[in-house]
Amino acid sequence: MLKLATAFIMLLLFAVNGDAGEFLVENDSAKEARQTDGLSQPQDVNNPENTLPTEQQQKSPQSAYFGKKTDRPVSAHKVNYFSINQWPGNENAQLKYQISMKFRVLEPNLYVLKYNLFPAYLSYTQMSLWNISQQSGPVEESNYNPEFFLDYPVNAAVIGRFKLRNMVIGLLEHESNGLDGVQSRSWNRQYALIKFGFESKEKLEVTNSFLSDKALLYVKLWHASGYSGQDAYLQSIGSSDTFLDYMGKGEIGVSVRNFLWRGSLRDHQLDIKTPIFRDMSKDSYEIEFRQQLPNMNFALYLQYWYGYGETLLRFDQFGRRGFVGLAFSY
Write out the chain's pLDDT in tens, 330 residues: 444 444 444 444 443 344 444 333 445 554 454 454 444 444 444 444 454 455 544 454 444 444 445 567 888 999 999 999 988 778 888 999 999 999 999 876 666 656 667 889 999 999 999 998 776 668 889 999 999 999 999 989 999 999 999 999 999 999 999 998 889 999 999 999 999 999 998 888 766 678 989 999 999 999 999 999 999 999 999 999 999 999 999 999 999 999 998 888 889 999 999 999 999 999 999 999 999 998 888 999 999 999 999 999 999 999 999 999 999 987
Q: What's the pTM value of the predicted model, to 2 decimals?
A: 0.76
Q: Where are the beta strands (DSSP E) in 231-292?
A: 250-257, 268-276, 284-292
Q: What do you get for the CA distance between the two ends of the chain, in Å?
A: 74
Judge residue 51's burial from the number of C-beta atoms within 10 Å of its C-beta, 0-12 exposed, 13-18 middle, 19 or more buried. Answer: exposed
Strands (DSSP E) contained in 74-185 are 74-76, 80-84, 94-104, 120-131, 139-159, 162-176
CB distance 47 to 59 below 8 Å: no
Rounded-to-integer distance, Cα 169 and Cα 191, Å: 6
What integer pLDDT is reported at residue 250 of this predicted model?
A: 98
**CA 252 vs CA 51, 244, 255, 284: distances in Å:** 64, 15, 11, 11
pLDDT of residue 207: 65
Q: Residue 96 in contact with residue 104, Cβ under 8 Å?
A: no
- Structure confidence at residue 14 (pLDDT): 41
**Is there a contact between 286 and 273 (Cβ–Cβ < 8 Å)?**
yes
Q: Are 119 and 150 in contact (CB under 8 A)?
A: yes
With contact defined as beta carbons under 8 Å apart, do 255 and 270 qualify? yes
Q: How do strand 120-131 and strand 139-159 relate by DSSP bridges?
A: antiparallel
* In contact, 198 and 214? CB cutoff 8 Å: yes
